[in-house]
Structure 1
């Protein structure tokens, strides 16, 4: 499984006949440098919650690639209602499903979730994260979340690679993300959701320094890691 960090919370995940995007906030993302290969041949798109910096370009990319959108029922159904030609797969917190490419579980997140459309906010269901297992390798994308003791349960999932927010204000800060790593005990952790905007400034090297007994890698946007 190859995972490319696209800045903020956006990931490109590739494995054999699978090419997925998680929270594809590309247009308007100041950390993202556009490349065709990031949005071509996409088979699946995962959306953790309905905020614009996570839904991002999901609809356009799904239409361009005939990709399946995977999200909570409220987001999946809203997108399907507005775009009947898009195939969606609705899930909810704690749900696990076996896709052709592998297994996906939707995990809890402590955050909000709302669409902004035509000057109004609309319910986007419960926010979440994703645990994606492909060929016995597991990727955990926490979504936007505060620290929750539910993360302790993920230790049993034997997570190979975890992406955790560290920017604070809207999500965990570095200190809480450190506690999350101790709960989850992933083989590798990568920080995300920081330095995109003024309110989520954080120094990822400080995060690394606070976890001397764990493997923590800082990925610059556009860089990849393979597990």
Structure 2
């Protein structure tokens, strides 16, 4: 059984490992205009990872975690906030940058990202820790780096040095994250042979496209640009 990655629109992904573990990353399903209707109700889930506290990334994390009694991993402040919204308190699921925990056949490590992390509650802005990326190292499959919402920054080279990802999921939409020009430099720094674009096409303000990224990528890097709901083998 191959490892597969399904884009659910925006920055939401479903990863299925060769060992049968199903992981949702930033599961913005309800309210996501790019998510196919057939994907809005997960059939099962073994692990949820949330990179930061914005609504378009937290998405359905709480409801999925409750429905399937599965771990929901997030940076410690965000995970504490989620526990106040119906998830059980569990410090094993509350990582911080550089921290690694194993969940089944997936080693999950939070990395740095340059972005914000907050939500609005009763008209006030609530701080939800720092934005993160995540590296998923699969026992019988590739290492996948989800950069989360970020610009390009030099320490992405450390992701290459430490984890040598086989696949890098990079935001390209611009405005709230890096656009294609910065994403191409991020691809160079991370050094993954395959790049999956994310965080684009959902709203008009996100103008970056895979077509703009493709000619800018380092020579030999494969761009895996698929439509929402489409699954690719990794």
TM over 0.5: yes
Secondary structure (helix, strand or coil) at the match of 1:35 reads helix
Compute the displacement of 1:36 (Å).
5.4
Which whole-Å deviations, capped at 9, do the CAs of 1:15-67 have from their partners, x for residues lacking one? 22411100011111111112258612111110000000000111111111112
Compute the displacement of 1:85 (Å).
4.2
Q: Tell me: CA distance 1:54–1:84, structure 2 relative to 1, closer, same or farther (3 Å).
A: closer
Aligned-pair RMSD on alpha carbons? 1.7
Which residue of 75, 91, 94 corresponds with 1:90? 94
How far, CA to CA, are the matches of 2:230 and 2:192 in structure 1? 20
TM-score normalized with structure 2 length: 0.91
2:137 corresponds to 1:133: yes
Q: Tell me: CA distance 1:180–1:22, structure 2 relative to 1, closer, same or farther (3 Å).
A: same
How far, CA to CA, are the matches of 1:21 and 1:118 in structure 2? 28
2:150 corresponds to 1:145: yes
Aligned to 1:2: 4
2:40 corresponds to 1:31: no
Aligned to 1:220: 227
TM-score normalized with structure 1 length: 0.94
Q: Tell me: CA distance 1:117–1:94, structure 2 relative to 1, closer, same or farther (3 Å).
A: same
| 8 Å Cα contact 2:66-2:87 kept in structure 1 | no
Deviates more, 1:59-68 or 1:85-94: 85-94
- Unaligned 5+ runs, structure 1: none
Aligned to 1:158: 164
Give 1:1-227 correspondences, 5 Å limit.
1-15=3-17, 16-35=19-38, 39-85=42-88, 89-135=93-139, 136-156=141-161, 157-211=163-217, 212-227=219-234
Secondary structure (helix, strand or coil) at the match of 1:197 reads coil
Secondary structure (helix, strand or coil) at the match of 1:64 reads helix
How far, CA to CA, are the matches of 2:87 and 2:160 in structure 1? 39
